[in-house]
Chain A
């Protein structure tokens, strides 16, 4: 009997031990499922985030009223794949949304909205945390004008180059084209073909995935003379554009024996009006030196040079104007050479500033974002404005740019029945300027019945195929700019 009583006690001890095991399991389960759950959920090796992300169709990116993206149900573990019905045309706008390589451009900048994780999409705060549900992806409506985009893409016709067009009064980006382009759809999905496409696109010497309109800087060449002249007019270095300048031809760069020549003739002592019309390097190089590096840098910065923070919403490469230069370098910088580099979008902004009375509206690509049902989540609203130059300077520059198109180097850009202003550029580059020059054209246009200019364009063509002598802003780039402007004006 004694033993039995004892055994009862031992059984109770053993039961306590089992209870301890149970408590240990419960505590440990609570630790994992409640307290440490987030760190496990966020582990990059945990595929649940990706599964949820691709478990529903992604929101669309719209141009005009029509989506330029789509979603394909693959029935795989990462279920929906991105499709791009007009991939190459809109690649610099949309970017890609790859299940392997992530996202770029608008797909990246608006990812939270498109994938449905943006808290702005839910009806009530914390509602989704409670219901464990994800919102359907929202849509992104862009500012792109489909006609302008197509005109630009067709104009480049596969030649290496880029086009950027903005609406001067608002900063809306109307066209953003890069060429050669690629179809982002080849990067959707996660099979071996995607890896092959990725390797092929990255190895391609033409760099089709490079967004030349916003992520590549070029020496702007003579198109930069707009900035130089704006600086000279604002600083009072030039007061009368019809007064003869004291400019030698050729011009020996200060402090060197290097002499600068012109493609055009009649540049010696040419007044600013003629020098602008015929793009005299000597006149503008000397003008830049007379303005001085400080005023040149100030004006360039007002136009948006040396700005690292521009986003449309995705980041734009910094356009540069070197401020630590000697006089010879400043002379070259003032005609868009040396270390002066600009993205096509930056040069479109320069043109837009002239067209818009000297004011620059920060450019943007997203008009508004909506829920999948169409209700607006956010709109672009009014953009910050910056005075790039004195309004009188803008008026003067507008007049000079018009003359470039009516009787100067830019006649190819003329549109019957519309006021068009422009500036050509042919930029040297490479070691000892041995590279094929880039053909530039920047312009703006105002329809007969418009109150203000409707579009400002920058076109750059870097055609390695062409004969060096034939590359010129007026010949190669101006017709593309005209097609884009016509497309916008006839809308």
Chain B
């Protein structure tokens, strides 16, 4: 407290004397590296498969480079203090995802996904640029929090009217494009949660009875958490989308904890989550079978029905070993359905090995860390919660799907951020990066030599 006070006194007089360096040059250099790495991967696939550099390599590199460059210029122009790592990480992961999808397209000549993914990536970067250019101050979003939650609910409910695809009602099909509205709902819900909690955190922090070290919340404020829990269960039951349900709930619990610091919330959250999971696991055959697959990945092999997707995925990771088989030289296509989307990480694991996989995990870790750092640097509670929420979306999503395909937790259908095939996902992730850029720009431009206190 005293420390914070002296800081303010010391930093106030000659305005921003200790402004942070903008670091835009570093961002540009890193973007060049990211684009070159992606082009190298693209060439490596071609060399391994056909012995020649693929004809589209220059075009691919130029396309990715121009997109990244325009995004960089937008950041330079409108968010000059933004964190220099966010954009290059997005470009690298998106570029790597395109390489992996292009590589898997070679195995399925009749079903090419890379061109569509490139179009969606362009849309995503366009959204990023628009956000960077026109969203001057992220605090504007706070005003629209209830619009956000209404839109999020509408987007979530929308697919129920559409037919189920592969057991899940999470897609809507318009004019040949399939869109997962739930992806967009994530960001909107993060905005809403951040705004709601920033406004109500003092009320929510009132604690009720204390049992041992647990501070139980009062009954009055239990309402919102139960409402969100119900929403998750409804999403799960009606859309059969375990992953999204888990993500929403996890996001809410994390933000609730950060806003109020009540361990009781975590206890209640975990209790409700496990209750819900057990109940749904028993009642929903779709979920029940996922849990069974997780516990016994080789059950179908022992039953003589051949390996299921999860065991094929484990085989792919194991085949990669430490150094990987090399781009274009693995056989992860044996996974079959969803090899380019939910199971894209298995291709990375087989062809890039533990080394490449760890690098990818660390890239995500870095992205999340930059988000949290922006949250720490800000003073505005809404901004802090928004940054933490957006970063947590990435963290939880990566954990849920990566843990699922590597057999750490039961598998739930979810897109690996940036890597996986799926337009809605890539656009959403660019929106997340755009918001993080915006938040970190505010954080660093207001920096006064002290971690926000």
Cα distance A15–B394 when bound, in Å? 12
CB distance from A479 to the nearest CB of B (A): 52
Q: Which of B337-356 contact A (CB under 8 A)?
A: 349, 353-354
Contact of A237 with B by CB under 8 A = no
Contact of A203 with B by CB under 8 A = no
Contact of B307 with A by CB under 8 A = yes
Known: A8-B452, A43-B301. A26 touches B318 (CB 8 A): no
Q: Which of A36-54 contact B (CB under 8 A)?
A: 36-41, 43-48, 51
Chain B residues, CB < 8 A from A449: none
User: Contact between B408 and A43 (Cβ–Cβ < 8 Å)?
Assistant: no
Known: A11-B258, A26-B358. A41 touches B318 (CB 8 A): yes
Contact of A34 with B by CB under 8 A = yes
Chain B residues, CB < 8 A from A28: 403, 406-408
Contact of B245 with A by CB under 8 A = no
A-B pair number, CB within 8 angstroms: 146
CB distance from B297 to the nearest CB of A (A): 10
Which interface residue of A7, A26, A36, A41 has the most chain B CB atoms within 10 A? A7
Known: A8-B451, A24-B399. A45 touches B306 (CB 8 A): yes
User: Contact between B257 and A14 (Cβ–Cβ < 8 Å)?
Assistant: yes
Known: A18-B392, A34-B354. A9 touches B261 (CB 8 A): yes
Cα distance A22–B368 when bound, in Å? 10
Contact of B133 with A by CB under 8 A = no
Contact of B376 with A by CB under 8 A = yes
Contact of B331 with A by CB under 8 A = yes
Chain A residues, CB < 8 A from B334: 47-48
User: Contact between B331 and A47 (Cβ–Cβ < 8 Å)?
Assistant: yes
User: Contact between A22 and B365 (Cβ–Cβ < 8 Å)?
Assistant: yes
Known: A3-B201, A7-B384, A40-B314. A29 touches B349 (CB 8 A): yes
User: Contact between A7 and B402 (Cβ–Cβ < 8 Å)?
Assistant: no
User: Contact between A15 and B317 (Cβ–Cβ < 8 Å)?
Assistant: no
Cα distance A489–B391 when bound, in Å? 86
Could you give, for residues 186-210 of chain B, a 1 whenever the CB lies within 8 Å of some chain A CB and a 0 otherwise?
A: 0000000000000001100000000
Contact of B319 with A by CB under 8 A = yes
User: Contact between A25 and B361 (Cβ–Cβ < 8 Å)?
Assistant: yes
Contact of A21 with B by CB under 8 A = yes
Chain A residues, CB < 8 A from B301: 43-45
User: DSSP class of B's interface residues: helix, strand, loop or mixed?
Assistant: helix
Chain B residues, CB < 8 A from A17: 254
User: Contact between B406 and A29 (Cβ–Cβ < 8 Å)?
Assistant: yes
Chain A residues, CB < 8 A from B381: 3-4, 7
Stretch at the interface among B79-87, B91-99, B120-128, B320-328: B320-328
Known: A8-B453, A24-B408. A29 touches B317 (CB 8 A): yes
Chain B residues, CB < 8 A from A256: none
Chain B residues, CB < 8 A from A38: 318
| CB-based nearest A residue for B332 | A48
CB distance from B198 to the nearest CB of A (A): 10
Chain A residues, CB < 8 A from B376: 8, 11-12
User: Contact between A5 and B453 (Cβ–Cβ < 8 Å)?
Assistant: yes
Contact of B375 with A by CB under 8 A = yes
Cα distance A47–B334 when bound, in Å? 8
User: Contact between B452 and A30 (Cβ–Cβ < 8 Å)?
Assistant: no
Number of A positions contacting B (CB below 8 A): 43
Contact of B298 with A by CB under 8 A = yes
User: Contact between B399 and A21 (Cβ–Cβ < 8 Å)?
Assistant: yes
User: Contact between A29 and B254 (Cβ–Cβ < 8 Å)?
Assistant: no
User: Contact between A15 and B452 (Cβ–Cβ < 8 Å)?
Assistant: no
User: Contact between A6 and B317 (Cβ–Cβ < 8 Å)?
Assistant: no
Cβ-defined partner of A33 (8 Å) among B331, B349, B402: B349
Cα distance A238–B257 when bound, in Å? 106
Contact of A325 with B by CB under 8 A = no
Cα distance A19–B361 when bound, in Å? 11
User: Contact between A7 and B258 (Cβ–Cβ < 8 Å)?
Assistant: yes
Contact of A1 with B by CB under 8 A = yes
Contact of A13 with B by CB under 8 A = yes
Cα distance A22–B372 when bound, in Å? 14
Cα distance A331–B299 when bound, in Å? 60
Contact of A264 with B by CB under 8 A = no
Contact of A32 with B by CB under 8 A = yes
User: Contact between B361 and A29 (Cβ–Cβ < 8 Å)?
Assistant: yes
Cβ-defined partner of B4 (8 Å) among A1, A10, A34: A1
User: Contact between A48 and B315 (Cβ–Cβ < 8 Å)?
Assistant: yes
Contact of B161 with A by CB under 8 A = no
Known: A8-B376, A10-B261, A28-B407. A3 touches B402 (CB 8 A): no
User: Contact between A36 and B4 (Cβ–Cβ < 8 Å)?
Assistant: no
Cα distance A39–B319 when bound, in Å? 10
Chain A residues, CB < 8 A from B403: 24-25, 28
User: Contact between B358 and A40 (Cβ–Cβ < 8 Å)?
Assistant: no
Contact of B379 with A by CB under 8 A = yes
User: Contact between B372 and A15 (Cβ–Cβ < 8 Å)?
Assistant: yes
Cβ-defined partner of B453 (8 Å) among A4, A24, A32, A132: A4
Cβ-defined partner of A46 (8 Å) among B1, B307, B402, B451: B307
| CB-based nearest A residue for B355 | A33
Known: A1-B1, A7-B381. A18 touches B321 (CB 8 A): no
Could you give, for residues 377-389 of chain B, a 1 whenever the CB lies within 8 Å of some chain A CB and a 0 otherwise?
A: 0010100100010
User: Contact between B408 and A45 (Cβ–Cβ < 8 Å)?
Assistant: no
Contact of A2 with B by CB under 8 A = yes
User: Contact between B257 and A13 (Cβ–Cβ < 8 Å)?
Assistant: yes
Cβ-defined partner of B318 (8 Å) among A13, A40, A47: A40
CB distance from B89 to the nearest CB of A (A): 14
CB distance from A36 to the nearest CB of B (A): 7
Known: A26-B361, A40-B314. A32 touches B407 (CB 8 A): yes
Which interface residue of B314, B322, B379 has the most chain A CB atoms within 10 A? B314
Could you give, for residues 161-176 of chain A, a 1 whenever the CB lies within 8 Å of some chain B CB and a 0 otherwise?
A: 0000000000000000
Chain B residues, CB < 8 A from A43: 298, 301, 307, 311, 315
Interface residues of A (CB under 8 A from B): 1-15, 17-19, 21-22, 24-26, 28-30, 32-34, 36-41, 43-48, 51, 132
18 other A-B residue contacts (CB within 8 Å) besides A11-B372, A45-B298, A48-B334: A1-B1, A1-B4, A4-B381, A5-B1, A11-B384, A15-B369, A15-B372, A18-B372, A18-B395, A21-B396, A24-B408, A29-B349, A29-B354, A37-B319, A37-B321, A40-B319, A46-B319, A48-B331
**28 A-B contacts, Cβ less than 8 Å apart?**
A3-B201, A3-B381, A5-B1, A5-B4, A5-B453, A9-B261, A15-B369, A15-B372, A18-B372, A19-B365, A22-B361, A22-B365, A22-B395, A25-B398, A26-B358, A29-B317, A29-B349, A29-B361, A32-B318, A40-B315, A43-B307, A46-B319, A47-B334, A48-B331, A48-B334, A51-B331, A132-B325, A132-B326
Interface residues of B (CB under 8 A from A): 1, 4, 201-202, 254, 257-259, 261, 298, 301, 306-307, 311, 314-315, 317-323, 325-326, 331, 334, 349, 353-354, 357-358, 361-362, 364-365, 368-369, 372, 375-376, 379, 381, 384, 388, 391-392, 395-396, 398-399, 402-403, 406-408, 451-453
Interchain residue pairs A-B with the least CB separation, the first 7: A40-B318, A37-B318, A33-B354, A21-B399, A45-B301, A18-B395, A45-B307
